[in-house]
Chain A
Amino acid sequence: MSAIDRTARDMPPATPGVKRIAEPRADERPGSNYLNNGYGWKSWLLTKDHKRIGILYLISISLFFALGGIYAGFIRLELLTPQSDLLQPATYNKVFTQHGIIMVFLFLVPSIPATLGNFLIPLMIGAKDLAFPRINLLSWYLLIIGAVFALGAMMYGGVDTGWTFYTPFSSTYSNTYVTATGIGIFVAGFSSILTGLNFIVTIHTMRAPGMTWFRMPLFVWAHYATSLIMILGTPVLAITISLMAFERVTRVGIFDPALGGDPILFQHLFWFYSHPAVYIMLLPGMGIISEIISTFSRKNIFGYKFVAFSSIAIAVFGFLVWGHHMFTTGQSVYAGLVFSFISYAVAVPSAIKVFNWSATLFRGSISYDTPMLYALGFLGLFTLGGMTGVFLAAIGLDVHVHDTYFVVAHFHYIMVGGTLLAYLGGLHYWWPKMFGRMYPEGWGRFSALVVFVGFNLTFFPQFLLGYLGMPRRYAAYPVDIPAFQVLHILSTAGATILGAGLVIPLIYLIWSLIGGPKAAGDPWMATGLEWRTASPPPTENFHETPVVTWNAYEYAPQEDMEVIGKTSPDDKPDRSSYSGA
């Protein structure tokens, strides 16, 4: 039976001993929800409803993603041939820069937190809204203003510094719209800071009665960790970009040695934000994967507390590894060793997560719904992406592969194979909750497979390219190394498939808004609080404040859980997997 037409009435009768799970409430006023609560443009653009703001984000970042994707397409087409024939080098440099800026600052950073996080965190913890609804709306406007600056700069002539803005190239030598782009990133950064602030205050103060810290879904834990990074890291980026723009405009020496500055200082400041920023992009995705894995195997997350605390550990350690981007800058060998060491330390909590997700599947009841396919894809790709990060953290090896396509491949395995797949999985998983409609399952599974295949074909060859010595950001590459072109052609072919795989969901998801079958409150038999209200939820989320009496992912009473490696019959489950107080 498909989950589509399941309603409250044909929920399974509760098995004896199993607490009632996830029934939609029967007392919803039929038909009233956040989507049909007002239709005018003001009801959207001036809304304070976190769900509507989430939808605003969803629409805007989808547009940014499409634009960034078009740039990616141009990059891949240009690299089909060794010569820079489709694009002049100057144009190519702008194209990869703008691909990076759009994808990182306008898509990946806001992607999951600002859309799904915004929509779901209040629902998951039983709140009516975020703590600061007006600030939440302001965050969206800041992102849009930032985007206007950044995209405006691109339309007027573009920027060619790379998304990393390394000085003194960016502050002195580039003759493109660096300052305007910098302002855009600066403003968009405040969107991120305010979102993080909002999440932290909400999670601390607005949890429903009974929703203790260890009853929160791991999605919320991941967003809590993410918000910490947003608040602590993003101001440093703002400072760095401002200083760069300040030097560019006033010629006061900060980073340019010709003016008395230090170009390496810029890299320290930049990566102090931008490495943790990778975790801003990744941690929410990990939160999604925890939700999906649990729901589609109908199991409690193995080692709940390990997964929760690993998010915090990643956020903390993530601040201490920025120097691994700078092994070849001539930084002190001891600094290099310390950064290398801590980079391995940060790999351990990531490994823990993969271990626990895999262990959750053990003896579960696994379905092959679209979100689960994305989650399984994430597990494989993230493992490979993470392991290649281990390559890069080995200093002696990094010297060779630094600034080559190996780094490009690693980064895309984490950001596309990790974050994007998690985002798509999460979007499918919560789509019925957000819009009250089911998407066509067959198309969903098909597109997940196409994305998986296309992704691997695009980026796996780039590992080989990188080790062969192909530097990144090259508009043209040598003809006399034939392997370069062969691998680039494979990569471009894969990108075509990946692109097609991403257009399919765009079509059927939009179609589902009109033609999709109506979704029940809880089409997946999930356990989270967000599934216990209607789909789509009413404006105030819950008609009455929910009182939480169950633990996270509690498919069956925790006392009845089986204990692995039990030595005596009265061994109790240990506290690492108990959720709850």
Chain B
Amino acid sequence: MPRQASTFAGNVDTLYLALWALTLVIMVIVTVALIYFVIKYRRRSPDEIPQQIAGAIKLESGFMVFMFIIFMGIFVFGAKVYFAQYRMPKTALDIHVTGKQWMWKFQHPTGQREINELHLPVGTKVKFTMTTEDVIHSLYFPDLRVKSDVVPGRYSYMWLEATQEGEFKIFCAEYCGTNHSGMGGRLIVMKPTDYQAWLAGNLNNLSPVDAGREKYQALGCASCHGANAEGGRCPTLNGVFASQVQLVGGNSVEADEDYIRESILNPAAKIVAGYPAIMPTYQGQLTEEELLQLVTYIKSLAPAQTDGISTNAPALSNNPSAGAPTLEGQGASNPDAFRANPIGATAPSGGGTSSTPGAGQSNGTGIRPENR
């Protein structure tokens, strides 16, 4: 049994041991029955024909139902353990992972990068946002009982909470080519204070948000989406993350990481209603890491706090209210809202040149266009 170094480990091990106990019981029953029959009913004379025995529907059906109930029990147990792993925590330390033949690259939210080595604080929820530059990999921490495939062209997520300090193995579990078995390293789980100290000693990188902002300017995104992502010829990006985006053709889509990624790499795939399809593709101009930074930057662009209303449906857009701020609400998804405004008339606000604050903060008021 490997060490139990995460909050999942106990449950997974319990399930594992319970299943071995069940297997043992079944194996003992089958083996003992077989050995008993084989000895007790061994052939006594070469020509004997034993009394034939008919099958029994009731016995068979009973057995079927019995086995089905046992299996359902295991199914529920397994599903419960899985749900805990599947539900992402709301707040967590966000680690970016990029797989590459044959190394793991990690980046901390404060910008520190590591290759094949990862430092994490104990007792803290950590969420991994992962992708790969080439083939499918799978990030696997056996002592923490977590694993997730890392698939090119999309983001995979995984979370964990380490419960034990120490050094643990990192493996790549999905076969990825020649040096597959060399694609691993060390996970170092340390006290949160030590983690902070470790971070402080490695302050030579921009945070992903800042790096993403630099990319945003360098790649010319600002010329259409606005210097502060307030929109222009193209939709605003403020607060677009996690919102419902209205598309040409009447569909809407939730703007998650994969949507943003696709819109950068293949803008023609989903056109926001009310905008011309003028964006060029950025396929091939960005590494996966840079792409992750851009996505992180766009995620950090929150809507204006003061008028965070839900505009999921066009009908609601005429009814702005200074309700409680919500991450969901923003105007970018509402084409009507934009049409009612000359470009730039209401945005940006006077403080538009102020640098965008870090993740999770508002970037000023008045940026989100309203139709009145």
Using a CB–CB distance below 8 Å, which chain A residues touch chain B?
1, 3, 12, 15, 18, 84, 89-90, 93, 160, 162, 166, 168-169, 172-174, 256-258, 260, 262-264, 297-300, 302-306, 327-330, 333, 336-337, 340-341, 344-345, 347-348, 351-352, 354-356, 358-359, 361-368, 376, 379-380, 383-384, 387-388, 390-391, 393-400, 402-404, 467-469, 471-478, 481, 525, 555-556, 558, 560-565, 573-578
Minimum C-beta distance from B270 to chain A (A)? 14
Minimum C-beta distance from A294 to chain B (A)? 11
Minimum C-beta distance from B278 to chain A (A)? 20
A525, B41: Cα distance in complex, Å:
17
Given A262-B153, A473-B175, A478-B169, are A303 and B55 also a contact pair (CB < 8 Å)? yes
Assess whether B53 is in contact with A18, with CB atoms less than 8 Å apart: no
Given A18-B49, A390-B71, are A399 and B180 also a contact pair (CB < 8 Å)? no
A395, B153: Cα distance in complex, Å:
25
A563, B178: Cα distance in complex, Å:
62
Using a CB–CB distance below 8 Å, which chain B residues touch chain A?
1-2, 11-12, 15-16, 19, 22-23, 26-27, 30-31, 33-34, 37-38, 41-44, 46-60, 63-64, 67-68, 71-72, 74-75, 77-86, 101, 134-136, 138, 140, 142-143, 145-149, 151-154, 156-157, 169, 171-182, 184, 266
Query: Which of A93, A380, A397, A403 touches B31 (beta carbons < 8 Å)?
Result: A380
Selected A-B contacts with CB under 8 Å, 27 pairs: A89-B180, A93-B178, A329-B149, A329-B151, A336-B82, A345-B68, A348-B71, A359-B55, A364-B37, A367-B42, A379-B30, A390-B23, A399-B85, A399-B146, A399-B147, A400-B146, A400-B147, A403-B140, A404-B142, A471-B173, A473-B180, A476-B181, A556-B49, A558-B54, A562-B53, A565-B56, A576-B57
Q: Hey, which chain A residues are within 8 Å of B180, CB to CB?
A: 89, 93, 473-475
Given A394-B81, A467-B1, are A347 and B71 also a contact pair (CB < 8 Å)? yes
Query: Which of B2, B50, B135 touches A173 (beta carbons < 8 Å)?
Result: B135
A435, B132: Cα distance in complex, Å:
57
Assess whether A160 is in contact with B145, with CB atoms less than 8 Å apart: no
Q: Which 9 pairs across A and B sit closest by C-beta, in order of nearness?
A: A469-B142, A257-B153, A396-B81, A394-B78, A577-B55, A573-B54, A303-B55, A474-B181, A12-B47
Assess whether A574 is in contact with B55, with CB atoms less than 8 Å apart: yes
By beta carbon, the residue of chain B nearest A402 is B147
Q: Hey, which chain A residues are within 8 Å of B60, CB to CB?
A: 303, 306, 352, 355-356, 576
A1, B2: Cα distance in complex, Å:
54
Assess whether B51 is in contact with A363, with CB atoms less than 8 Å apart: yes
Assess whether B42 is in contact with A561, with CB atoms less than 8 Å apart: no
Cβ-Cβ contact count across A and B, 8 Å cutoff: 313
Assess whether B71 is in contact with A404, with CB atoms less than 8 Å apart: no
Given A362-B41, A397-B78, A467-B16, are A565 and B53 also a contact pair (CB < 8 Å)? no
A404, B169: Cα distance in complex, Å:
14
Assess whether A365 is in contact with B171, with CB atoms less than 8 Å apart: no
Q: Hey, which chain B residues are within 8 Å of A578, CB to CB?
A: 54
A391, B12: Cα distance in complex, Å:
11
Given A403-B173, A473-B175, A565-B58, are A361 and B15 also a contact pair (CB < 8 Å)? no
Assess whether B177 is in contact with A174, with CB atoms less than 8 Å apart: yes
Q: Hey, which chain B residues are within 8 Å of A366, CB to CB?
A: 37-38, 41-43
Minimum C-beta distance from A98 to chain B (A)? 14
Assess whether B30 is in contact with A380, with CB atoms less than 8 Å apart: yes
Assess whether A257 is in contact with B56, with CB atoms less than 8 Å apart: no
Given A340-B79, A364-B37, A560-B52, are A404 and B153 also a contact pair (CB < 8 Å)? no
Assess whether A364 is in contact with B41, with CB atoms less than 8 Å apart: yes
Assess whether A365 is in contact with B44, with CB atoms less than 8 Å apart: yes
Q: Hey, which chain A residues are within 8 Å of B64, CB to CB?
A: 348, 351-352
Q: Hey, which chain B residues are within 8 Å of A348, CB to CB?
A: 64, 67-68, 71
Q: Hey, which chain B residues are within 8 Å of A379, CB to CB?
A: 30, 34
Known pairs A297-B41, A348-B71, A564-B53. 4 more at Cβ < 8 A? A258-B152, A328-B173, A351-B64, A384-B23
Assess whether B177 is in contact with A555, with CB atoms less than 8 Å apart: no
A347, B55: Cα distance in complex, Å:
21
Given A89-B179, A329-B149, A555-B49, are A574 and B43 also a contact pair (CB < 8 Å)? no
A305, B53: Cα distance in complex, Å:
14
Assess whether B82 is in contact with A333, with CB atoms less than 8 Å apart: yes
Q: Hey, which chain B residues are within 8 Å of A362, CB to CB?
A: 37, 41, 53
Given A303-B55, A363-B53, are A395 and B78 also a contact pair (CB < 8 Å)? yes
Minimum C-beta distance from B214 to chain A (A)? 25
Query: Which of B55, B145, B147 touches A302 (beta carbons < 8 Å)?
Result: B55
Query: Which of B1, B27, B67, B179 touches A384 (beta carbons < 8 Å)?
Result: B27
Q: Hey, which chain A residues are within 8 Å of B182, CB to CB?
A: 89, 476
Assess whether B41 is in contact with A354, with CB atoms less than 8 Å apart: no
By beta carbon, the residue of chain A nearest B48 is A365
Assess whether B52 is in contact with A556, with CB atoms less than 8 Å apart: yes
Q: Hey, which chain A residues are within 8 Å of B82, CB to CB?
A: 327, 333, 336, 395-396, 399
Assess whether A328 is in contact with B53, with CB atoms less than 8 Å apart: no
A468, B143: Cα distance in complex, Å:
8
Q: Hey, which chain A residues are within 8 Å of B11, CB to CB?
A: 396
Q: Hey, which chain B residues are within 8 Å of A402, CB to CB?
A: 147, 173
Assess whether A387 is in contact with B145, with CB atoms less than 8 Å apart: no
Minimum C-beta distance from A443 to chain B (A)? 21
Assess whether A169 is in contact with B181, with CB atoms less than 8 Å apart: no
Given A257-B154, A297-B41, A298-B50, are A394 and B15 also a contact pair (CB < 8 Å)? yes
Q: Hey, which chain B residues are within 8 Å of A361, CB to CB?
A: 33-34, 37-38, 41
By beta carbon, the residue of chain A nearest B173 is A403
By beta carbon, the residue of chain A nearest B63 is A355
A565, B56: Cα distance in complex, Å:
8
Assess whether A576 is in contact with B81, with CB atoms less than 8 Å apart: no
Q: Hey, which chain A residues are within 8 Å of B79, CB to CB?
A: 337, 340, 394-396
Q: Hey, which chain B residues are within 8 Å of A93, CB to CB?
A: 175, 177-178, 180
Assess whether B149 is in contact with A365, with CB atoms less than 8 Å apart: no
Assess whether A564 is in contact with B49, with CB atoms less than 8 Å apart: no
Q: Hey, which chain B residues are within 8 Å of A351, CB to CB?
A: 63-64, 67
Q: Hey, which chain A residues are within 8 Å of B52, CB to CB?
A: 299-300, 555-556, 558, 560-562
Q: Hey, which chain B residues are within 8 Å of A376, CB to CB?
A: 34, 38
Assess whether A394 is in contact with B153, with CB atoms less than 8 Å apart: no
